[in-house]
Structure 1
Amino acid sequence: MRQVTLVGAGKIGEVIADLLIASGDYAVTVVDRDAQRLARLAQVLPAANLCQIDAGDATQLATVLSDQQALINACPFDLSAPLAEAAVAARVHYFDLTEDVGSARAIRALADGAACALVPQCGLAPGFISIAAYDLARSFDELHDVHMRVGALPKFPSNGLKYNLTWSTDGLINEYLNPCEAIVGGMLKEMPALEELEHFSLDGDDYEAFNTSGGLGTLCDTLQGRVRNLNYRTVRYVGHRDVMKLLLHDLRLGERRALLKEIFESSIPVTLQDVVLVFVNVSGLKDGLLMQETYARKIYNRVIGGRQRSAIQVTTASAICAALDLLLDGRLPQQGFVRQEDIPLDAFLDNRFGRHYVIDGEEPHTVASGGLRQMR
């Protein structure tokens, strides 16, 4: 039985624990300082070992990690670096879902000389989107453009934002405010969030996309010097971006994050009826021809283990579980920093957890053509 500790019993953490325990191969200790969250989790996952401690207390956490193989961090981004430090000290593998660029850089620095593997950014974006994009990009002789687009959207939008809360509110606000990495004309640049608005259609539906922070993971470092343009943008229904700019900039709520979080969580309902959209577009030269290849998929909410799970819960939780599974199977590096693009796409999708990205054996929409279509 594989012994792992999961820190964070929230919306994503519950599904991570459920997937791992249901596999029959994992004994999961769930750590959280919130007694109410743990009590609720005990009702739905009685097989989980629950531990109420403050994960920020290194001494308490070290006791929990003493006989574990891995630490899975499903907490807000500000705990990423301290939890990674605890994992390195305990010599256990580390996994997280952070979209925060600064936290990922701190974890990368910790990985130098570590006796364990540190695998941050294991969710949907960053995470799976990098795996899919790199799989397309590595088949080109010369890369021109790599465009990555991801959205977690309500199936039935009913408010002015055309949005419902589906994951971490702290993470959402963070990616709407922080600078965004990109490669433009072969040069690494920082771009402002919420800018470079574009519109596109997929399967007959209209969407907008705009810059948000963190979605590229480590791809800027990996592809720098090899690609002309690389960017990541979040997908929303048309009109969402303008409302967010009003709230964050015109009303200056971006300077009052605690208040903005309170407003969002008291006014915007959570929904389990959602869809995750993944779209990667790569162009460049293959055998002397200008080619374009696209990976596109929609993943919907579904019932797993008798419980309704949102699409963002399914995609995020299954991605980090697949990364954990592959590493403990010996299919990923066992020490140091592990990038998402180090995970082969075929190995991910063939994994028992990664298969949640393939519905009923359906293959993703992939297209190869000789033309280049700019997304506008």
Structure 2
Amino acid sequence: MEKVAVLGLGKVGTLAAELLDGAGFRVTGIDMQLKSQSMPFDIKALDLSDVSILAEEFRQMDAVLSCLPYHLNTAIAEIAHGAGIHYFDLTEDVPTTKAIMKLATTSKGIMAPQCGLAPGFIGIVGASLINQFDTCRSCKMRVGALPQNPTGLMGYSFNWSPEGVVNEYLNDCEVLEDGEIKRLSSMEWIEKLYINGTELEAFTTSGGLGTMCETYLGQVPNIDYKTMRYPGHAQLMNFFFHELLMRDRRKEAGEILVNAKPPVDDDIVYVHVSAEGKKDGALARSEFVREYKPVNLLGKRRTAIAWTTASSVVAIMEMVRDGKLQNSGFLKQEEIPLDMFLQTKAGKAFEDQKP
């Protein structure tokens, strides 16, 4: 796995391509429209909706990383499958992932969606905590990508794809509760928690667990994922989507929200993962709690959401290339060892900011 195509050169895609280049991959960045700045890797402007063009391009590659909106990824994965190359993406969309799982049953390369922050890194951390116990009764995973200095009642800025945020706020969620896989609505099960004295609220959102419910069915009775926001956010978003019926106008909802709350440079990513169970017959609790802020990486200042997402997927691609993970079929995030992840060139960024 040497030649990699990176599709979508936004903040995350560009940084992922730069990190891959720095890790020794031969990178080609592809987007519909190219910005004027120079890149340390090859770039091409291609019509990403043209199957024949992408199929030809993929035949020259060993792997593809899609940093495109989730609704484009099934088609991209099908082209990669047809070309017999490895496929990676950052999607949180459950139907997209299920479609890719089906492709993986006959794939020559690895099919690895959900390689970002959540799903992705959060599942790797969750699995590492579960493995610390002889028997684990619960695992709770929480992630929040937020402005450091929030303003307004919503206390938010759209540093991530508005399409992805709307998708995870409205689609149903999977959880493990009392040993059963259950589906429930997003923006429910609201709870209060604190990280280094900052009060946050957490509520259910779609897709963050990836494949963990099916993996741990019969082993861990209670697993759930929630998004963290500043207090009051969930009530306002429920009003916006459900009382004003913006749930029926998803595209317009995303446009309204990002226009009202544009991205900020001073963001922060909160991670709070906890697990409870028995060790040597005694009940115990383990936690992984972090604050990740913007960093200077490869000579540029990177937002927290950009570097955590890009570093996660690049670390996984390094591990596949180096023979530390499987190289065909479907890759589950919870099968990736955390210690091995943190030893990769990209994964070390997470260790650099540990408390």
TM-score normalised according to structure 1 size:
0.92
Q: 1:253 aligns with which of 243, 246, 253?
A: 246
SS at match of 1:39: coil
Give the equivalent residue in structure 2 for 1:15. 15
Give the CA RMSD over aligned residues.
Answer: 1.3
Asked if 1:69 is matched to 2:62, the reply is: yes
Give the equivalent residue in structure 2 for 1:97. 90
SS at match of 1:315: helix
Asked if 1:162 is matched to 2:155, the reply is: yes
In structure 2, what is the Cα distance between the partners aligned to 1:262 and 1:136?
A: 38
In structure 2, what is the Cα distance between the partners aligned to 1:70 and 1:359?
A: 28
In structure 2, what is the Cα distance between the partners aligned to 1:333 and 1:58?
A: 28
* Residue identity opposite 2:150 in structure 1: P
In structure 1, what is the Cα distance between the partners aligned to 2:72 and 2:252?
A: 20
Give the equivalent residue in structure 1 for 2:29. 30
Aligned residues: 355
SS at match of 2:334: helix
SS at match of 1:291: strand
Give the equivalent residue in structure 1 for 2:35. 39
SS at match of 2:49: coil
State the shift of 1:62 in Å: 1.2
Asked if 1:284 is matched to 2:277, the reply is: yes
In structure 1, what is the Cα distance between the partners aligned to 2:108 and 2:19?
A: 27
* Residue identity opposite 1:10 in structure 2: G
CA contact (8 A) 1:133 1:148 kept: yes
CA contact (8 A) 1:12 1:167 kept: no
State the shift of 1:9 in Å: 1.3
* Residue identity opposite 1:29 in structure 2: T
CA contact (8 A) 1:11 1:167 kept: no
In structure 1, what is the Cα distance between the partners aligned to 2:196 and 2:255?
A: 35
Q: 1:264 aligns with which of 240, 246, 257?
A: 257
CA contact (8 A) 2:171 2:185 kept: yes
* Residue identity opposite 1:20 in structure 2: L
Give the equivalent residue in structure 1 for 2:134. 141
CA contact (8 A) 2:162 2:255 kept: no
* Residue identity opposite 2:161 in structure 1: S
In structure 2, what is the Cα distance between the partners aligned to 1:139 and 1:302?
A: 31
In structure 1, what is the Cα distance between the partners aligned to 2:339 and 2:88?
A: 20
SS at match of 2:154: coil
Give the equivalent residue in structure 2 for 1:349. 342
Residue by residue, what CA displacement relative to the aligned partner does 1:136-174 show, whole Å, maximum 9, x if unpaired? 102212111110000011101112210111111110100
Question: What is the aligned-residue identity percentage?
Answer: 39
Q: 2:167 aligns with which of 167, 170, 174?
A: 174
State the shift of 1:8 in Å: 0.8
Residue by residue, what CA displacement relative to the aligned partner does 1:182-230 show, whole Å, maximum 9, x if unpaired? 0111110001000110001121111000000000011101101111211
In structure 2, what is the Cα distance between the partners aligned to 1:29 and 1:104?
A: 25
* Residue identity opposite 1:299 in structure 2: Y
Give the equivalent residue in structure 2 for 1:108. 101
State the shift of 1:79 in Å: 1.2
* Residue identity opposite 1:130 in structure 2: G
SS at match of 1:157: coil
SS at match of 1:352: coil
In structure 1, what is the Cα distance between the partners aligned to 2:98 and 2:159?
A: 26
In structure 1, what is the Cα distance between the partners aligned to 2:180 and 2:97?
A: 21
Structure 1 segment 230-249 matched on structure 2, within 5 A = 230-249=223-242
TM-score normalised according to structure 2 size:
0.97
Asked if 1:228 is matched to 2:221, the reply is: yes
Unaligned regions of 5+ residues in structure 1, if any? 365-376
In structure 2, what is the Cα distance between the partners aligned to 1:306 and 1:226?
A: 45
* Residue identity opposite 1:142 in structure 2: T
Unaligned regions of 5+ residues in structure 2, if any? none
